[in-house]
Structure 1
Amino acid sequence: MDFRKKLAALLLALAAPAALAEPTGSTPKLPVGWYVTESAPKRYEAGVDTSAPCEGSRSAYLRSLSPDEAGYGTFMQAFGAQDFRGKRLRFSAATRVKDVDGWAGLWMRVEGPDPKQPLAFDNMQSRALVGTRGCKRHEVVLDVPKEATTIMAGLIMSGTGQAWLDGVRFEVVDESVAVTDLLASRPLVASTGPAGLDEPTPVAKNDQVPVGRVGDIWFNNGRIMTAKPYTRRQDGVWVSILSEEIFEHGIAVTGTFGQRKVDLLVKAGTSLTRIEGTWGEDLVDIQLRPDALTMKWGRLTRQLLRDKDAPVDSTCNRYVTTEGPRVLDLVDVCGAALSTRPPTAQLVLSFLDNGFRRVVPPRNFPIPQPPVRSREALNTPSVSPPPQ
């Protein structure tokens, strides 16, 4: 099957009226090649809707059946990657949502020989669809490496509500279209002054390329740039420059960080990513949502809300605490840290190293100080007149 025939087959489900007809008195018929996966049985359903499509004569929908806000479901398809290897693939669709309490978005995932280690991934969580929104075309753009085996794509919804998509397109695009990959390698360029036009663009080494960030702490598959950086040994153990070790056991992260014992669990896969357990003698409870971030350790607490109008990169969420025009606390969460399958050790150490006390950003409005009540501070000392 050549490239054009492959695309035609992928779009058949949303282009053939007969194939999408809804039989009377039966379960809504899904488009050919599409199916539903969910966090638990009978929490979501998908079907075809002809009432108010964004484009064309019908749309497909994903709807929650349970009031449980912790669940998630996807309306998706999977296909072989052989026709797209070495190319940049854009998955786009017109979408709308109604009463989504949680978040929704398009998603696409490129897998290789090891399904547990995706080669590229984006689920729009950093630009999620929430509440009720009208028709708008959205897109996910990923590079498909030569070792790719499978591509999966679809519509995801976490929590409750209903989401629709139609006008589905899969297109090979050139490098002028930016990728939205949460796992993409982003070169770090040192700010060393202006460069001449004939000089090559500086590109960071592989071990210096971040895939995620929490605050100022960035990480990739082999390094976590905490105050005392950790690197990953060949046996999978993370070790700091002070020889402290961190171990990963599925969703569990144990070891030593900052001279304190770490025993934490990372629970993800829905609109809530939660880190809970102990660090030292105190309890840790970190909750990351699309709209809020709460960080608790012992008696210390940071509570921040997402600033959706913040001038940040499209792969980042900015969480802030404000008082009038003043920003009292700020944390950016970016890239793989926003994934529904975040790297556990990197996420844990990045959050722990950010600390649990407020961090006032630079160049902020000054915080007024209480008035001075000392009479001495108000009295102006007498000054002798200059000699004649």
Structure 2
Amino acid sequence: MDFRKRLAALLLALASTGAGAQPLDSAQKLPMGWYVTESAPKRYEAGVDTADTCEGTRSAYLRSLSPDENGYGTFMQAFGAQDFRGKRLRFSASLRIKDVEGWAGLWMRVEGPDPKQPLAFDNMQSRALVGTAGCKRYEVVLDVPKEATTIMAGLIMSGTGRAWLDGVRFDVVDASVPVTDLLASRPVVAANGPAGLEDGPASGSKNDTLPLGRVGDVWFNQGRIAADKPYTRNKDGVWVSILGEEVYEHGIAVTGTLGQRALDLKLRAGGRYTRIEGTWGKETVDIQMSPEKLSMRWGKLTRELARDSSAQVNGTCNRYQRTEGARVVDQLDVCGAALGTRPPSAQLVMSFLANGFSPTLPTRGLAAPQPPVRSREALDTERTANGPQ
């Protein structure tokens, strides 16, 4: 296949020998097919390094040129999806990082007819690399739908620091390899109780019940925000609640009315922090989220939570919590598209506000169901285990 030939040439360029060569600082010396994109000009650069590689004799690096932590850069490639439609694709590479203030990781994005609505995406932000770390192999795995047109993949770094990539591989894998898709659909719990069979999706979208992201118990997608008082998106782009309140998007600005309070907020993402700031009602809002912590302030109400990287939580989620001793006193999971470098503005803003600014105790699930009791012997299990009473 043409793509496999191009890919083989590209990987050969990245892995080819360069005896005695010094690190190169020019993006023009990058392996064929790779290039740099960034949130602002001249913030990042990429080059080829022959020292301290993880695999092979050459690695590519991405480094920040500015001390400004508000930004991100990617070392990436883009190629047609035709050879992978209907398949599961794994992009893997060896990474190492140094002094990363922000986060770094692999990323892959599958696009369809509308580039503004990716079909699949993962940037490792839920398992981000921070600080300084040695060589280790990482991967992202996505399903490529039949309507896919383009696949993009590479190394992303937010904030400052330096990251190296080598040993790049693209493999078609079977269903035994789980996807890491931040946009993958998940089971949905109705926000307003059971619905009748005649009830159709409010937004008219066939994907109305497939979540793209979640903050706490509030999930969202392109047409619905499933809070206590759900919002749906009209054809004109206006978000309308079941109470008739309206919310508008103007680029990064989100305005309108939420919970009978005037809303005037801005969302900035892609740097070290995802930040929401402005006013809600008469009080000031300031929400800052990074891979290490989450801070939420509204007037005098404050939530300060630290990332629990050891938590047993869905691989597309970051768990933030506050503890007192061994007791968890506040907890919030942020999942899926809410962790992206370009999260949907209105959905993310309203999902955070719907969770509130007071501590929320972890959800306590019901006890695991047990097999039905079928005989008196089953009822006597404890007695027989402990001997005659």
1:274-308 deviation digits (Å, cap 9, x = unpaired): 11111111111111111111111111111111111
**Pairing 1:11-160 to 2, within 5 Å after superposition:** 11-17=11-17, 27=26, 29-160=29-160
Q: For each residue in 1:96-144, what CA deviation from the matched residue of structure 2 results, as whole angstroms up to 9, or x when unmatched?
A: 1111111000011112222222221111011001111111110111122
Seen in structure 2, the aligned counterparts of structure 1 residues 169 and 21 have a Cα distance that, compared at 3 Å, is farther
Is residue 21–residue 50 contact of structure 2 (8 Å, CA) maintained in 1?
Answer: no
| C-alpha distance in 2 between matches for 1:319 and 1:255 | 29
**For residues 115 and 21 of structure 1, do their structure 2 counterparts lie closer, same or farther at Cα, with a shift above 3 Å needed?**
farther
RMSD: 2.2
Q: How far 1:183 moved relative to its partner? A: 1.2
Mapped to 1, the partners of 2:218 and 2:73 lie a distance apart of: 31
> What count of residue pairs does the alignment treat as equivalent?
349
Answer whether contact 2:24 2:49 (CA < 8 A) is retained: no
Cα distance in 1, alignment partners of residues 25 and 144 from structure 2 = 39
- Check conservation: 1:2, 1:83, Cα contact below 8 A: no
1:12, 1:32 within 8 Å by CA — same for their partners in 2? no
CA distance in 1 between counterparts of 2:23 and 2:219 reads 54
The 3 A distance-change label for structure 1 pair 147 and 359 is same
SS in 2 for 1:180: coil
Counterparts of 2:6 and 2:41, CA distance in 1:
32
- Give the aligned residue type for 1:134: G
Residue ranges of structure 1 left out of the alignment (5+ in a row): 191-204, 365-388
The CA distance in 1 between the partners of 2:230 and 2:363, in whole Å, is 24
Question: Shift of the alpha carbon at 1:309?
Answer: 0.9
**Paired amino acid for 2:297:** K
For 1:251, the equivalent position in structure 2 comes to: 252
Q: What is the Cα deviation at residue 71 of structure 1?
A: 2.3
1:241-297 per-residue CA deviation (whole Å, 9 max, x = no partner) reads 111111112111111111111111111122211111111111111111111111111
- Measured after TM superposition, the shift of residue 323 of structure 1 is 1.6
Show the counterpart of 1:278: 279
SS at match of 1:352: helix
Relative to the length of structure 2, the TM-score reads 0.84
In 1, distance between residues paired with 2:43 and 2:281? 39
Q: Larger radius of gyration, structure 1 or 2? A: 1
Q: Is the 8 A contact 2:10 2:31 kept in 1?
A: no
Change (3 A) 1:78 1:25: closer
**Are the counterparts in 2 of residues 22 and 48 from structure 1 also a CA contact under 8 Å?**
no
TM-score by length of 1: 0.85
Do the aligned residues in 2 keep the contact of 1:119 with 1:148 (CA within 8 Å)? yes
What CA deviation, in whole Å up to 9, does each residue of 1:62-88 have, x standing for no partner?
112222111221111111222222221
Identify the residue that residue 375 of structure 1 maps to in structure 2.
Answer: none
Partner of 1:218: 219
Contact 1:54–1:95 (Cα < 8 Å) also in 2 = yes
Work out the CA distance in 1 between the residues paired with 2:68 and 2:23: 29
Which ranges in structure 2 are unaligned for 5 or more consecutive residues? 191-205, 366-389
Pick closer, same or farther for the CA change 1:292–1:189 going to 2, 3 Å: closer
Kept in 2: contact 1:13–1:33 (CA 8 A): no
Q: Distance in 1 between matches of 2:207 and 2:78?
A: 30
Q: Tell me the CA shift for residue 320 of structure 1.
A: 0.9
Change (3 A) 1:52 1:23: closer
